[in-house]
Amino acid sequence: MAIAAQTLDILGERQSGQDVRTQNVVACQAVANIVKSSLGPVGLDKMLVDDIGDVTITNDGATILKMLEVEHPAAKVLVELAELQDREVGDGTTSVVIVAAELLKRANDLVRNKIHPTSIISGYRLAMREACKYVEEKLAVKVEKLGKDSLINCAKTSMSSKLIGSDSDFFANLVVDAVQAVKTTNARGEVKYPIKGINILKAHGKSAKDSYLLNGYALNTGRAAQGMPTRVAPARIACLDFNLQKTKMQMGIQVLVTDPRELEKIRQREADITKERIEKIRKAGANVVLTTKGIDDMSLKYFVEAGAIAVRRVRKEDLRHVAKATGATVVSTFADMEGEETFDSSFLGYADEVVEERIADDDVILVKGTKNTSAVSLILRGANDFMLDEMDRSLHDALSIVKRTLESNMVVAGGGAVEAALSVYLEYLATTLGSREQLAIAEFAESLLIIPKVLAVNAAKDATELVAKLRAYHHTAQTKADKQHLSSMGLDLSKGTIRNNLEAGVIEPAMSKVKIIQFATEAAITILRIDDMIKLVKDEQQNEED
The catalytic residues are 60, 93-94, 397
Q: Which neighbouring-strand residues pair with 274?
A: none
> At 141, phi and psi to the nearest 5?
-115, 130
| Neighbouring C-beta atoms of residue 37, cutoff 10 Å | 17
Q: What DSSP assignment string belongs to 19-52?
A: HHHHHHHHHHHHHHHHHHTT-STTPPPEEEE-TT
d(CA 524, CA 21): 12
Q: What DSSP assignment string belongs to 245-258?
A: S---PPTT-----S
Going from the C-alpha of 158 to that of each of 33, 120, 258, the distances in angstroms are 21, 33, 72
Residues whose CB falls within 8 Å of the CB of residue 234, separated by 6 or more in sequence, listed in order: 350, 351, 352, 353
Single-letter amino acid, residue 406: L
Kindly tell me the burial class for residue 493, based on how many C-beta atoms sit within 10 Å of its own C-beta (0-12, 13-18, 19 or more).
buried
d(CA 483, CA 478): 8
Of 485, 506, 409, residue with least CA distance to 144: 409
Kindly tell me the burial class for residue 43, based on how many C-beta atoms sit within 10 Å of its own C-beta (0-12, 13-18, 19 or more).
buried
d(CA 62, CA 399): 16
Single-letter amino acid, residue 2: A
Contact (Cβ atoms closer than 8 angstroms) between residue 28 and residue 100? yes
Contact (Cβ atoms closer than 8 angstroms) between residue 77 and residue 94? no
Positive/negative CA dihedral, 234, 239, 242, 247: negative
Contact (Cβ atoms closer than 8 angstroms) between residue 291 and residue 245? no
Going from the C-alpha of 358 to that of each of 135, 138, 219, the distances in angstroms are 48, 52, 12
Residues whose CB falls within 8 Å of the CB of residue 113, separated by 6 or more in sequence, listed in order: none
d(CA 46, CA 61): 10
Rg (CA), the chain: 29
Contact (Cβ atoms closer than 8 angstroms) between residue 414 and residue 41? no
Of 447, 20, 387, residue with least CA distance to 205: 387
Residue 100 DSSP class? H
Going from the C-alpha of 365 to that of each of 36, 138, 238, 294, 368, the distances in angstroms are 41, 49, 14, 17, 10
Contact (Cβ atoms closer than 8 angstroms) between residue 185 and residue 192? yes
